Amino acid sequence: MAKRREDSHWLIFTDLTAGLLALFILAFVAMTTMKEKKAEALTRTEQEVVSCQEEMRRVAKERNALLSQSLKAPLEKGIIALENGNIQIQASFLFPRNGADLTAEGVGIIKSIGQGLLDVLDTGDAIMVSGFTDDTPTNSPTYTNWNLSTERAVNVVKTLINQGFPGERIFAAGFGPFHPRVPNTSEENRRLNRRVEIGITPIRKAEAAEVVQK
């Protein structure tokens, strides 16, 4: 009788050990599978990012070529420059020193640029106008470089809208003395940093569809 009890206990212990081993194996396989799936997902994500970056570079290259053709006259005159798909305009061509209102010459420049932008603008694109200043403080305790850069960008936007740009597809931003092109270490560098940039940026598909419906 004692022998049978020992055998019974041994069988129970063996079954329990086998069950635990099976659970361990299943857990190990599950963890390995999860790691493999995560690695595959990470690889796909990395590939998608690289593919997206390549597509963005391709689109920017094509857009630069179109803009170069559409804006040939102001480019040849040195009034504007193209950099990474953005139109760069020195503030001295558009505004009086420390002023935010476009000069008559500035209005003419923006109108000529606007026509070129209209020629290459896609239905899924929007226009972003950014204003920048150098690091020289304004003489006013309340009117800062933030105000100046923003008002300049807004006035460029108003001119483009008056030319026919839809208001829902164009916006302005002011960056003040931040994001300079070159260090503010000389008057020439400060002149380069006082600028307006006009860039084309994609809008979300839902927004693009709403614009088309309008």
> CATH no. for residue 159?
3.30.1330.60
Domain match, 85 and 159 both: yes
Among 46, 70, 94, the domain boundary falls at 70
Could you list the beta-strand ranges (E) of 20-166. Answer: 80-83, 86-90, 125-132
30 and 94 part of one domain: no
pLDDT score of 31 more than 80: no
**Top-confidence residue, 98 or 124:** 98
**Do 122 and 85 fall within a single domain?**
yes
Among the listed ranges 28-32, 102-106, 207-211, which one has the minimum average pLDDT value?
207-211
User: Is there a single domain that holds both residue 44 and residue 109?
Assistant: no
Q: 45 and 106 share a domain?
A: no
122: Cβ contacts below 8 Å, ≥ 6 apart: none
* Alpha-carbon distances of 171 from 28, 100, 144, 167, 203, rounded to whole Å: 55, 17, 21, 8, 12
| SS3 category, 2 | helix
**pLDDT tens column, 34-80:** 766 776 766 767 777 677 777 767 777 777 787 888 888 888 888 89
Same domain as 207, residue 126: yes
Residue where a domain stops, chosen among 70, 94, 123: 70
Q: Is the domain of 123 the same as that of 204? A: yes
The DSSP annotation for 68-96 comes to HHHTHHHHHTTSEEEETTEEEEEGGGTS-
Beta-carbon count within 10 A of 59 CB: 14
Verdict on whether the full-model pTM lies above 0.75: no
Q: Biggest alpha carbon distance in the chain? A: 113
Does residue 6 surpass a pLDDT of 60?
no
Are 42 and 145 members of one domain?
no
Among 21, 52, 70, where does a domain finish?
70
More confident residue, 57 or 183: 183
pLDDT higher for 30 or 109? 109
Question: Structural domain of residue 4, as residue ranges?
Answer: 1-70
- Tens-digit pLDDT profile for residues 111-161: 988 888 887 777 788 899 999 999 999 888 889 999 999 999 999 999 999
pLDDT number for residue 209? 45
For the chain, the domain total comes to 2
